[in-house]
Amino acid sequence: MAIQNDEFGPERVIEVYDQRTGMWGVLVIDNTARGPGKGGIRFVSDVNREEVFALARAMTWKNALADIPFGGAKAGIRGDPKTVNKEAFMRAFARRIKPFVPEFYIAGPDMNTTEREMAIVADEIGTPLASTGKPSSIGGLPHELGSTGFGVFCSTLVGAGFLNLDINKISVAIEGFGNVGTFTMKYLTEKEINVVAVSDSKGTVYNEKGLDFEQLLDTKVKKGTVTAYKDGKVLSAEDLFKLKVDVLIPGARPNVIHSKNVNDVKAQIIVEAANIPMEYETEKVLMKKGKLVIPDFVANAGGVISSYCEWRGYSEKEMFKIVEEKIVRNTQLVLDKTVSNDTRAAALQIAKERVIDAMEKRGWRSK
């Protein structure tokens, strides 16, 4: 399937190969009207141009909606990170995209790339501006600080307020207890919001009176699963989506809500912490039922806002303040602009308007 160009991009599709290591990679710079293209490098064995383009376009809208001066881009390296020389592949890829970094592209972590790989990219290209998500020891703001989960927490509060729900009386279920889900629960429970269910790959732990965050985290670290939590009922991972809660936060895998379980969702608010936890058609089923869906690129933008803060050299404290301000403002804007309960359409329209405005001001298109 060929990449389809339109008025927004892509501006550049760069395929690279390194004969010595066998590294093949691709960088798609979709749109730089608002600033250099920002997006992660994913390292998987089956990555292709079309997938990377789709992700780059998603970053164009995500960065515009986050209201940060970045355009959209994405990169992919083809290989099994468990069997190839990962550092050699990363360095070979960085050398070949160097002419475009950081003027047109800024790297970040993605599937199978972490703060270590971002440090390698910065080292190979020769500037800390080449990547974000670097270790704090070299001036980075790694995603392990929990910026994405904090943003999901902020977006959840806005959604509850929009529906005039009393946050001291709402119940929340969270799918996934990785970096995003863990920090989302941390901030919710610090606000004394009742998180009653959390799931991981082994199943769901549920207690209608609420789960203790510190105990759950300790259980996950020591036992490897939330289902070993001593004070809760163990359910299947799929049962989490059927629980009678006020807020459901899918925060791990894609397409966990689908045609077979969408009618079982009882939550009033669904905050998409994960990327594409359901297709748009599935969202519309929930929207038609009057449920409030806060789309992924609205709710989970804390990570990319943190990347902008790192790029500007802000402190951790400054970063969290900016994440809160932008997530709250943009979530509220989307909800206020929503027509017929279609929050995704409203969010996409806002993002497109911001990109078009930048393109017009640069003289890239006429008004």
For residue 3 the two structure tokens come to 């990449």
- Given a cut of 60, whether residue 147 has pLDDT beyond it is yes
- What's the pLDDT at 349? 98
- What's the pLDDT at 66? 97
- Tell me the helix, strand and coil percentages in the chain, rounded to 5: 45, 20, 35
Contact 75, 111 (CB under 8 A): no
For residue 243 the two structure tokens come to 């629980």
Average pLDDT on 192-218 reads: 97
For residue 308 the two structure tokens come to 């902008």
Q: How far is CA 241 from CA 110, 159, 197, 246, 261, in A?
A: 26, 19, 10, 12, 8
Say what percent of the chain tops pLDDT 90.
96
Average pLDDT on 143-172 reads: 95
Render pLDDT for 246-305 as a digit per residue (tens, 0 to 9): 999 999 999 999 999 999 999 999 999 999 999 999 999 999 999 999 999 999 999 999
How many whole angstroms separate alpha carbon 267 and alpha carbon 160? Answer: 12
How many whole angstroms separate alpha carbon 352 and alpha carbon 57? Answer: 11
Render pLDDT for 92-140 as a digit per residue (tens, 0 to 9): 999 999 999 999 999 999 989 999 999 999 999 999 999 999 999 999 9
pLDDT band at 144 (very low <50, low <70, confident <90, very high): confident
- What's the pLDDT at 361? 96
- Given a cut of 80, whether residue 2 has pLDDT beyond it is no
Q: How far is CA 323 from CA 131, 146, 220, in A?
A: 19, 11, 27
Contact 205, 234 (CB under 8 A): yes
The overall pTM is greater than 0.75: yes
pLDDT band at 143 (very low <50, low <70, confident <90, very high): confident
Average pLDDT on 350-367 reads: 94
Render pLDDT for 209-258 as a digit per residue (tens, 0 to 9): 999 999 999 999 999 999 999 999 999 999 999 999 999 999 999 999 99
Average pLDDT on 195-217 reads: 97
For residue 27 the two structure tokens come to 């960088």
* Whole-number average pLDDT of the chain: 96
CATH topology of domain 147-302+332-349: Rossmann fold (3.40.50)
Measured in residues, the chain has a length of 367
pLDDT band at 3 (very low <50, low <70, confident <90, very high): confident
The fourth-level CATH superfamily of domain 12-138 is Leucine Dehydrogenase, chain A, domain 1 (3.40.50.10860)
- What's the pLDDT at 326? 98
Catalytic residue selected from 62, 74, 186, 326: 74
Helix (H, G, I), strand (E, B) or coil at 17: strand
- Given a cut of 60, whether residue 329 has pLDDT beyond it is yes
- What's the pLDDT at 142? 83
Structural element, H or E, at residue 268: none
User: Quick check: is 62 catalytic?
Assistant: no
- Given a cut of 90, whether residue 60 has pLDDT beyond it is yes
CATH 3.40.50.720, the chain: domain bounds: 147-302+332-349
CATH 3.40.50.10860, the chain: domain bounds: 12-138
Say what percent of the chain tops pLDDT 70.
100
- Given a cut of 70, whether residue 360 has pLDDT beyond it is yes
Average pLDDT on 14-27 reads: 98
- Given a cut of 60, whether residue 1 has pLDDT beyond it is no
